[in-house]
Chain A
Amino acid sequence: MPKTGIGVTVIRKEACNKVTGDAKYTNDFISVGILTAKMVTSTCAHAAIKKIDIAQASSLPGVRAIITGDNCSVIYGPLLEDRPPLAHKKVRYYGEPIALVVADNEFIASQAVFLIKVEYEPLPVVNSPSEAIRQGAVILHENLGSYKTVVEDVYPKPGTNICDQKQIRKGDIQKGFFESDIIEEARFILPQSDHIAMETRTAQAKINADGTVFIRSASQAPHGIKKEISKVFGLEEGKVIVEVPFVGGGFGGKASIQLELLAYMASKAVGGREIKIINSRENDIVTSPCRMGLEAIIKLGASKDGKLKAIQMTYLVDTGAYSDTGPRLARAIAVDCTGPYNIDNVWCDVLCVYTNHPYVTAFRGFGHASYTFCIERMIDKLARRLQMDPAEFRKINSLLPNHTTPTQVKVTESNFGNLVACIDKLKTLINWEEGDRLEIGNDKIKAKGMACLWKTSNSPPDEVSGVFLTFNEDGSINLNCGCVEYGPAMKTTAAQILSEKLKMDINRIYVNMDVNTKYSPKHWKTVASMTTFMLGRAVLRAAEDVIRQLKSLAAVVLRCPPENLEVEDEKIYVKSDPAIFLNFKDLVHGYKYNNGNSVEGQILGRGSFIMSDINVLDKETGKGKAGPYWTVGAQAVEIEFDKKEYTYRFIKAATVMDAGNLLNPSMAESLVKGGMCMGLGLGSRECFNYGPEGEVLDTSLRSYKVMHFGETPQYLVEFVETPQLDSPYEARGIAEHGIIGIPAALGNALSVAVQAELDELPLVPETIWRIKTGGVL
């Protein structure tokens, strides 16, 4: 086991506690006397609430309070304030919280929930994004014009179902299509789906006598909760304390704030007593926010020699009944809308539209897996029309240094990486030369498909991360940071970076696994594959801070200039004669001279980072910089398709990603494999089916299917390393990216196998049969 630094496989710091079941998650903290809150949720996707009869439930012994939308006037949204925590007068999606019961225990709370009778008057539903923008569509939010926008770059259109619109105007689209010899056009449909984190969302709240609010939550955004709770309920920020222990999977779904608001309201209703609220799996799927749906129409033109000339795109983001993170997803799609390709003429509209579907939030890939399916299917269609090898076609159109992105950011080797190298390496890895469609007998076809990916972050331009370092008397270090540990071993990465910088044993660095906003410095949210970048930079600054202090103290003791000193292995030594040294333990809590006189005191380190050169994008053209750099990659899926049955199985899934610099090789490989597994799930099965009245039909794992372990193909992962010069040790974020191109690669492989254009997801055998045959027997 290597003891220091980066570039070596390090077992995650919490491994022992997790594999033994010792690690504690939110719902493992149950104190005596804690009450249970439970939601009553809507059985209609769109209806006026005529009456909520709580009489019978209220009289049940052990029921402490029942709250409905009538008792709560707040309206919330991180970007656009459009969502009441409990539906008020109207429900807009199936599963929307209507009332909240607070009772002595879960049993009584469940009984009360069944006793609450809600009378609805059904309203016509908007059951797809294209329905939402149709002339005469039912309007979900008649007060859209009076909703408060929280950020400057969200542009709702009152009188419509459009809660935001982002657009890209680059070059001259008319000219681009005029110069195109071949133009392909297609329409894509991708339904919503869910995160299915192993731990369902849960929150606890209590309000102390002095008004201090304490929230514990399974969240990716503890500091976000603190800020929002104080803002929504008019509390002093210092009086809101949020604690997040280990989180059992997030995938973006725990970056939004929902149960925390309800938990606070529930505790308030019972005089501040401690309460807990836990999503059932059904609630977690349908009541809490899910993954966006997408409809797209794309027109792509190229010259005969295979150069992309122009692209026109309309994306409709299905944000569901409320905006929440939808506008940010729309922006993320706009920013990277072309895929990692050089196209001079780009016209893109992304409309974020309300429907009577569950509302949406971040999901691994943040919109990228969805639009990438559309773009990469288009690339394959065009390559085939041009009779070009799809891999070569991608290579000759790859963005390169000095090209510009859709938002007109200049590409550099550092900010983009090397996509061509990824494609080349992928071709070898997947044996591309063998051919992408092989008849192998018994009506079986072996086929391969490829897709490229890129992603930058979409954080607000002023987000921060911070680190505090304290020392134990034995010279070991405590690293205190605000990121949440929900899987990708962030805390371990932070320790690796510190260990590398201080050249000390990583096992002597102790990282706080939980986050408490009272003690931990703010970290924006643990999202966007940005934690290594932001937190890593803060760690480096904190390390420099303690090195400076240590050298300064040692310089006094050793009577030499600080620049003559070096730090390594918990020692400060004289560069010219390492035999002259002091141990950390002799310095970190102050230095004591032989006669007892002591100087300095504790060495306390701090490091802080703020995103610097990111802009708000121009409203008309989209021009601007959304994130600090991109991570690019190329992916492939190999399948075996049965021509007669329209069934298929996965053989291989492969990824080559430009990681900048691999900090923890095995962890990186696992992250990418996990992403590919989720991507195969999205491509092959995961989706919400809606009934004619907008109700979600798959609200449990009986019908909502995720990948089974036994279906796992052979995963192949390799990396390219093009340094990202602004990142800690030149590393690029890779946590989400494994998912992005996989649905597209699967779609391409199956389209080749089936010899049909498969432009919708998920690709279950019936869908393939319907597209291929037109559904005719």
Chain B
Amino acid sequence: MISFDFEYYRPDTLKEAVDIFLKLDKEGKSPVYYGGGTELISMARVGSQSFGAVVDIKNIPECKVLGFNADTLCLGSAITLSDITEANYFPLLSKTAGRIADHTMQGKITFGGNLASTIIYRETVLPLLLTNARLTVAGKNGLAEVEIGQVFKERLRLQKGEFLVKATIDKKFLIAPYFHVKKTKNEKIDYPLITAEGLKLDGYVRIAFSGLASYPFREANIENMLNDSSLEFSQRADKIVQALSGVITSDLYGSAEYRKYVLKNTIVNILETLKDQ
């Protein structure tokens, strides 16, 4: 039971959505954009989030795109994780989406909702970081397309009233050799102890992580270490573990020391697997 009242709006156009959001905000109703609701509902139920209004963006056609436009794959923010895995246009993203929560939840959780989540993992951002995806954001001045790195720093950083409309990914990334490793405390369906995923492009391995730190990330210096062919695989892994030791977290799911152990193994395994590809 959610112990407060809130208003519900379901605009049909991007402009309507932004307008109503800003209007509600002006009225002091602390509105939020609403996708699948899995997070807002569960957080509101236990009293850790409150809002006076929700603006449901699932009826806006631009947020529901899922397909190709010339040389890019377009992924609307209101498509569900199940939509992504069933269409399977980008195997790495499908793998990622298919390992978030359980099957029932995947039918509700939206792509945009996962990216904008307050829960620290936001695993669907990893394929976007790896492919330098572009994000389309709706705001009071209309649509803007930006590089992912400009708006996603640890988390999605949008201005008040803005919301994510879609992500676009260059087609060439979709066929690159990839890897996806999700390690949990114990079971298949859980938050990640570490999710490491990446692509091999022109002989260079890109890598991004979730679960390791309190935010998902991809870092150039880590990739340089990973690709440093002057070092043995295990030396590269050691170097990466050392470089990241300041950000690796301890929590209910695992201690920092254990995460480091798993990270080292994971990196060696990845390098072993990719060496012939």
- Spell out A's residues near B (CB within 8 Å): 106-107, 110-111, 113-114, 282, 644-645, 684-685, 689, 697-698, 700, 703, 705, 708, 710-711, 764-766, 769-770, 773, 775, 777
Q: Which of B241, B252, B254 contacts A697, CB < 8 Å?
A: B252
Task: List 24 A–B pairs whose Cβ atoms lie within 8 Å, in order of A's numbering.
Answer: A106-B1, A107-B1, A110-B1, A114-B47, A282-B46, A644-B265, A684-B186, A698-B252, A700-B46, A705-B190, A708-B189, A711-B188, A764-B185, A765-B186, A766-B254, A766-B255, A769-B261, A770-B258, A773-B261, A775-B255, A775-B257, A775-B258, A777-B257, A777-B260
> What's the minimum C-beta distance from A535 to chain B, rounded to whole angstroms?
39
- Partner of B265 from the list A645, A705, A711, A773 (CB cut-off 8 Å) is A645
State which residues 233-277 of B face A: CB under 8 Å: 241, 252-255, 257-258, 260-262, 264-265
Q: Is the CB of B187 within 8 A of A689?
A: no
Residue of A nearest to B46 (CB): A282
Docked complex Cα distance between A711 and B184 (Å): 15
| The 9 nearest A-B residue pairs measured at CB | A110-B3, A766-B258, A764-B186, A111-B3, A106-B1, A110-B1, A685-B186, A766-B254, A697-B252
Chain B residues whose CB sits within 8 angstroms of the CB of A685 once the complex forms = 186-187
**What is the bound-complex CA distance between A181 and B46, given in angstroms?**
58
What chain A residues lie within 8 Å of B254 (beta carbons)? 766
Measured CB to CB, the closest approach of chain A to B58, in angstroms, equals 24
Tally of chain B residues near chain A (CB < 8 A): 25
CB of A765 within 8 A of CB of B1, answer: no
Q: How many A-B residue pairs have CB under 8 A?
A: 54
> What B residues does A698 contact at CB under 8 A?
252
Residue of A nearest to B259 (CB): A766
Minimum C-beta distance from B3 to chain A (A)? 3
Q: Do residues A703 and B252 form an inter-chain contact, with CB atoms below 8 A? A: yes
Q: Which B residues lie within 8 Å of A107 (CB)? A: 1, 3
Whole-angstrom CA separation of A524 from B157 in the bound complex: 61
Question: Once the chains bind, are A777 and B187 in contact (CB under 8 Å)?
Answer: no
11 additional contacts, CB 8 Å, given A710-B188, A775-B257? A107-B1, A684-B186, A685-B186, A685-B187, A689-B252, A698-B252, A703-B252, A705-B187, A765-B186, A769-B258, A777-B261
By beta carbon, the residue of chain B nearest A710 is B188
| A777 surroundings in chain B (CB, below 8 A) | 241, 257, 260-261, 264
Within the complex, which residue of B4, B187, B252, B260 is in contact with A708, where a contact is CB–CB below 8 Å? B187
| Residues of chain B contacted by A697 (CB below 8 angstroms) | 252
Determine the distance from Cα of A644 to Cα of B265 in the docked complex, in whole angstroms: 8
In the bound complex, CA of A697 to CA of B1 (Å): 22
What residue of chain B has the Cβ atom nearest to residue A645's Cβ? B265
Question: B244: shortest Cβ distance to chain A, in Å?
Answer: 13
CA distance A186 to B261 in the complex (A): 28
In the bound complex, CA of A697 to CA of B262 (Å): 23
Alpha-carbon gap, A107 to B2, bound state (A): 7
Given A644-B265, A697-B252, CB of A765 within 8 Å of CB of B187: no
* Residue from the set A644, A700, A708, A777 with the largest chain B CB neighbour count within 10 Å: A777
User: Whole-angstrom distance from the CB of B29 to the nearest CB of chain A?
Assistant: 17
Q: Which residues of B have CB within 8 Å of A708? A: 187-189
Which of A689, A764, A766 has the most chain B CB within a 10 Å cutoff?
Answer: A766
Quote the shortest CB–CB distance from A544 to chain B (angstroms).
Answer: 52
Q: How far is the CB of A714 from chain B (nearest CB, A)?
A: 18
**Which residues of A sit under 8 angstroms from B46, Cβ to Cβ?**
282, 700
Tell me, in angstroms, the Cα distance from A708 to B262 when the chains sit together.
23
Given A708-B188, A711-B187, A765-B186, CB of A113 within 8 Å of CB of B265: no
Question: What A residues does B255 contact at CB under 8 A?
Answer: 766, 775
Decide: A765 and B257 in contact? CB cutoff 8 A.
Answer: no
Question: A282 vs B47: C-alpha distance in the bound complex, in angstroms?
Answer: 13
Which chain A residues border B265 with CB–CB below 8 Å? 644-645
**Interface pair B185/A766, CB less than 8 Å apart:** yes
The interface bits of chain B over 77-114 (1 if a CB of A lies within 8 angstroms of the residue's CB, else 0) are: 00000000000000000000000000000000000000
Taking a contact as CB atoms under 8 Å apart, the answer to whether B185 and A765 are in contact is yes
Bound-state CA distance A241–B76 (Å) is 58
- Which B residues lie within 8 Å of A114 (CB)? 3, 47
Q: How far is the CA of A769 from the CA of B4 in the complex (A)?
A: 46
Q: Which residues of B sit under 8 angstroms from A282, Cβ to Cβ?
A: 46
Task: Verify A113–B186 contact, CB threshold 8 A.
Answer: no
A90 to chain B, nearest CB (A): 24
Q: How far is the CA of A711 from the CA of B102 in the complex (A)?
A: 14
A contact residues around B241 at 8 Å (CB): 777
Chain A residues within 8 Å of B257, by CB: 775, 777
- Cross-chain contact A111 with B4 (CB below 8 angstroms): yes
Task: Give A106 to B3 CA distance when docked, in angstroms.
Answer: 8
Q: How far is the CB of A645 from chain B (nearest CB, A)?
A: 6
The smallest beta-carbon distance between B84 and chain A, in angstroms, is 21
Distance of B45 from chain A, by nearest CB (Å): 8
Least distance between A728 CB and chain B CB atoms (Å) = 41
> A689–B253 Cα gap in the complex (Å)?
10
Query: How long is the Cα–Cα vector from A42 to B254 in the complex, in angstroms?
Result: 27
Quote the shortest CB–CB distance from B2 to chain A (angstroms). 8
State the CA gap A106–B46 with chains docked (Å): 14
CB distance from B85 to the nearest CB of A (A): 17
A167, chain B: closest CB distance, angstroms: 37
Q: Min CB distance, A642 to chain B, in Å?
A: 10
B245 to chain A, nearest CB (A): 10
